[in-house]
Structure 1
Amino acid sequence: MSATAIASLPDAPIAYIMKRYPRLTETFILNEIRAMERLGAPLHIVSLLPPEPPPHHPMVAEVQAPLHAMPQPGERQAWRLMARAHAAAAAAAPWRYLGAIARACLWSVQSPTPRTVWKQFMRGGMIATLCRRHGIRHIHAHFANAPAAAARFASVMTGLPFSFTAHAKDLYLTPAHVIRRRALAASFVATCTGYNVQYLAGLLGGRTDKIHLVYHGIDLGLFGAAPATTATAAETLILSVGRLVPKKGHDDLIEACRLLHGRGLSFRCRIVGAGPLRHELAAQIEASGLTGIVTLDGAMTHADLVALYRTAALFALAPRITEDGDRDGIPNVIAEAMATGVPVVSTSVSGIPELVRDGETGRLVPPRNPQALADAIEQTLADQPAARRMAAAGRARLEGEFDLWKTTRRLHSLFGCTSCPPGAPETSSRFQADDAAMTAPAAVMP
């Protein structure tokens, strides 16, 4: 059957291309995949890099889609598998394959890193053969960088439509002309903030017909409201969650904690996440006299994190735009804290104001301003009636625009899927999670 005929079959599978799957920090994609399957869309998942080692979120075990791990250079038989896949792609559509080679030649000449272009070409050939083998009708990439590049090559080789979801770092650290080229070739581009929509529209000369706002959905059924606080001042917990990287602004939060401690406020601050700044942040905590008050707790499974939200008096995160342009979109952890009913203090960066409306659903301060951050935290903790009102408004905001089933249905319709099966959820309801990690080994492509 031709690629055109397969693409017209609404119940044929969709290939999801990701840099690495599963990944502990990407629960927003895992939630989307689970919901997409519940809505009746058959999927195949392609991981360009080896799956992240355990621990995995227990929710990974619920995913039914086969996982295809891309063979890595240096692995036994990797080059033989790649050669066979490319030979099959060339034999199936020789002119399309030559067109992909021509594009790779042109783009590699234009790129400061030509080897990267050819790496995505090689991955594209593997994906193209997988798509033909499994009757894939549409290729969707999460992230506008490497996954979208590999998906584009696979689309050229097969004639199948492709699309991608642009998030944050992938969008702003990829050259603008490359994003524009991929967006014009894609059947559609989804993105997770209105802030990103404006940026993409600017790249496309104001054209918005291909750009669709699809917020990261929250499975609200996973998050029960936090109990009314009865904690003493000494037990007040300020919680922050995020990778220990510059754009998260953890150093600003630690400095804000130093200021709060100097004002005589009794609290603990737990920062959950792993990353390259761990030693630097630990040194800052010690130098600030905050040992035992501010702790770096490392990475945590989603189930443990959900339980931790319920113990927090306040959630604080201080994202910023780094010198190289890296930034967040709307950090998923902010939405999760709000879903639990925890008041939020954050910064007015990127898409965050679309969720945290200052004085309405939380408090916002300018980035890189520990003094303002400390003031907002202190005010929120001191005025509990206002904090509860903002927390309730935050939960209502999520129910209106960030509910997992509403957001996933938008993407489901963009794929041209058939109507949802009987019994498919209309709103979020808790999945029956299996506590065991995924036990089936990933298949090696193709």
Structure 2
Amino acid sequence: MTRIGYVLKVYPRFSETFIVTEMLAREALGDDLSVYALRPTTDSRFHPEIARVQARVRWISRPWKGIEMWEQMAQCLDGDDLDRFAQILPALLTLPGDEVAQGLELARQVRADGIEHLHAHFASLAGRMAWIASSLTDVPYTVTTHAKDIFHESVDPTWLRRICVDADRVIAISRYNEEFLNRLLAGSRARISLRHNALELDRFPYRDPEPPTTPLRVCAVGRLVVKKGFADLVRATRILVDDGVPVHVDIAGEGDEYQALREQIRSLELTEHVRLLGPMTQQEVRTLLARSDVFAAPCVEAPDGNLDGLPTVVLESMACGTPVVATAVSGLPEVVRDGETGVLLPPGVPKELARALRDIASGATDTRRLARAARSLIEQQFDSRHQAAVLSGWQAPGRQGR
């Protein structure tokens, strides 16, 4: 049995249910997992599924003072490590000192724990730390890329390329991301493979959608950040209300845009039509989906270049039987296929979103047909048991080919 070390920026993290689902499925296969967390969580709530994870958790100490940084480095470097450290020093000089110290500490713990393979989620901080630890220990690593770690304007292209080229495998969560990385890393030896995030399907039982209610019940779930496009959903609600369409919108999540959305709802006189519910556990989200007529994912590209990868809650909605209306951003068109598994719209056009919701409210859209096809797609391509088996095979000794 291979001992796998998961390198994560924060653990546990409320918004990263896909990581917990992945680890649970791998543990069910018998994989031996450890978690190495680089930052403490600041979340106010936690999903109960975290209690099912058996992996050992190590928090990698982060020095705050210069003297602490040098002391931590000195404790982690001896013998052959000094030579390897010297070889990667030019790259390390481009990083903050506390990151370098954490990378060395991660290497020390990986060696002490007998870890045989590292797996990082996000090719940013976690990816950099996995690269340092692997460079010092020769323990191979894989990295799952998502969205902000490859699309955001703050991404360092040199480090992204270094992490991807030296990884045993780079995992893309959508074909959109896979094609982006293939273009970005063209001519390199990077091994890029597609593997979607997935769901524990037993926790998302399907039921056919009922005829839409009056008012139409719309829900949206996600971090309250610009790329989620929730401001467009609020504008679309105003259009529906003006057109005499009864509608009630629930938006679940927390984030930096909370105050801006709250003010937008107030200024558009929608306080009786739009609610901000705060963060919800997956069980609470399932309850929200069950009582909603439609799930909206009006994602957009943020001004800083940030995009959504493939929101897990969209997959959850499709699994449960809640019809999905989404925008053609990043990986969303791969699952929300217009007129087949959902309704797909151009991003950033509230009028089009309002039109799609109006068609659902009037019964013009056959939501039952869309929902059944959506569930079939999820069962075929997004089962966490299949995902875990593939990842386990990729990370086993002697199984490093495509």
CA deviations over 1:273-305 (Å, ceiling 9, x no partner): 111111111111112121121001111111211
Q: Which runs of 4+ in 1 moved over 6 A?
A: none
Cα drift, residue 165 of structure 1: 0.6
Shift of 1:204: 1.8
Contact 1:245 1:276 in 2 (8 A): yes
> Could you tell me how far 1:188 is from its partner in structure 2?
0.7
Deviations 1:410-444 (A, max 9, x none): 2111102699xxxxxxxxxxxxxxxxxxxxxxxxx
Identity among equivalent pairs (%): 34
Corresponding position: 1:93 with 2:72: no
| Cα shift at 1:359 | 0.6
Q: Tell me, in whole angstroms, the C-alpha distance in 2 between the residues paired with 1:161 and 1:79.
A: 31
Q: How does 1:340-359 map to 2 (within 5 A)?
A: 340-359=320-339
1:82 deviates by: 7.6
Q: Matches of 2:74 and 2:362 in 1, distance apart?
A: 63
| Residues 1:153 and 2:132 aligned together | yes
1:175 deviation in Å?
3.0
Partner residue, 2:38: 48
Contact 1:165 1:189 in 2 (8 A): yes
Of the three residues 118, 121, 128, the one matched with 2:107 is 128
The aligned residue for residue 179 of structure 1 is: 160
Give the 3-state SS of the residue equivalent to 2:171 in structure 1. strand
More displaced stretch, 313-322 vs 175-184:
175-184
In 1, are the aligned partners of 2:62 and 2:102 still within 8 Å (CA)? no
2:14 is the counterpart of 1:24? yes
Q: Deviations over 1:144-174 (max 9, x none)?
A: 1110011101111111111211000111121
Using the alignment, how far apart are the partners of 2:31 and 2:70 within structure 1?
28
Deviations 1:111-148, CA, capped at 9 Å, x for gaps: xxx42xx3322111011010111100111110011100
Partner of 1:64: 54
Q: Is the 8 A contact 1:86 1:126 kept in 2?
A: no
Contact 2:219 2:292 in 1 (8 A): yes
The SS at the match of 2:5 is strand
Q: Which has the higher contact order (CA 8 A, sep 6+)?
A: 1
Q: Summarize the alignment of residues 265-304 of structure 1 with structure 2, pairs less than 5 Å apart.
A: 265-304=245-284
The 8 Å contact of residues 213 and 361 in structure 2, kept in 1 or not, is answered as no
Q: Spell out the pairing of 1:322-341 with structure 2 (5 A cutoff).
A: 322-341=302-321
Partners in 1 of 2:297 and 2:240 — Cα distance?
Answer: 15
Deviations 1:94-123 (A, max 9, x none): 311222334313xx1xxxxx42xx332211
- CA-to-partner distance for each residue in 1:27-50, whole Å, 9 max, x for gaps? 001100111111111111011101
Q: Taking structure 1 as reference, are residues 403 and 207 closer, same or farther at Cα in structure 2, changes over 3 Å only?
A: farther
For residues 76-115 of structure 1, the aligned pairs below 5 Å read: 83-84=71-72, 86-91=74-79, 93-105=81-93, 108=94, 114-115=95-96
Which amino acid letter does the alignment assign opposite residue 37 of structure 1? E
Instruction: In structure 2, give the amino acid aligned to 1:260.
Output: L
Please state if 1:73 is matched with 2:63: yes
Amino acid at match of 1:229: E
Q: Distance in 2 between matches of 1:197 and 1:276?
A: 29
Partner Cα separation in structure 2 for residue 209 and residue 381 of structure 1 = 48
Cα distance in 2 for residues equivalent to 1:311 and 1:205: 46
Taking a change above 3 Å as real, the CA distance of residues 206 and 318 of structure 1, as seen in their structure-2 partners, is: farther
Deviation at 1:85, TM superposition (A): 6.2
Q: Match of 2:78, SS?
A: helix
In structure 2, list runs of 5 or more residues that go unmatched. none
Judge conservation of contact 2:63–2:101 (CA < 8 Å) in 1.
Answer: no
Partners of 1:28 and 1:217 within 8 A in 2: yes
Given that residues 20 and 50 in structure 1 are in contact (C-alpha distance below 8 angstroms), is that contact kept between their aligned partners in structure 2? yes
**1:376 equivalenced with 2:381 (yes/no):** no
| Distance (whole Å) between structure 1 residues aligned to residue 306 and residue 299 of structure 2 | 10
Supply the AA of the counterpart residue of 1:377: L
Counterpart residue identity of residue 75, structure 2: A
Hey, what's the Cα distance between the residues in 1 that align with 2:85 and 2:287? 51
In the superposition, the TM-score normalised over structure 1's length comes to 0.84
CA RMSD of aligned residues (A): 2.2
Report the 3-state secondary structure (helix = DSSP H, G, I; strand = E; otherwise coil) of the residue aligned with 1:100.
Answer: helix
Residue identity opposite 1:310 in structure 2: A
Q: How many residues align?
A: 397
SS of 1:358 mapped into structure 2: coil
- Name the structure 2 match of 1:427: none
One-letter code aligned to 1:27: T
Q: Contact conserved, 1:22 with 1:52, CA < 8 A, in 2?
A: no
Are 1:50 and 1:70, in contact at CA under 8 Å, matched by a contact in 2? no
Question: Could you tell me whether the CA contact under 8 Å between 1:85 and 1:129 is conserved in 2?
Answer: no
For the residue of structure 1 that corresponds to 2:183, the secondary structure is: helix
Structure 2 letter corresponding to 1:19: K
- 1:405 partnered with 2:385: yes
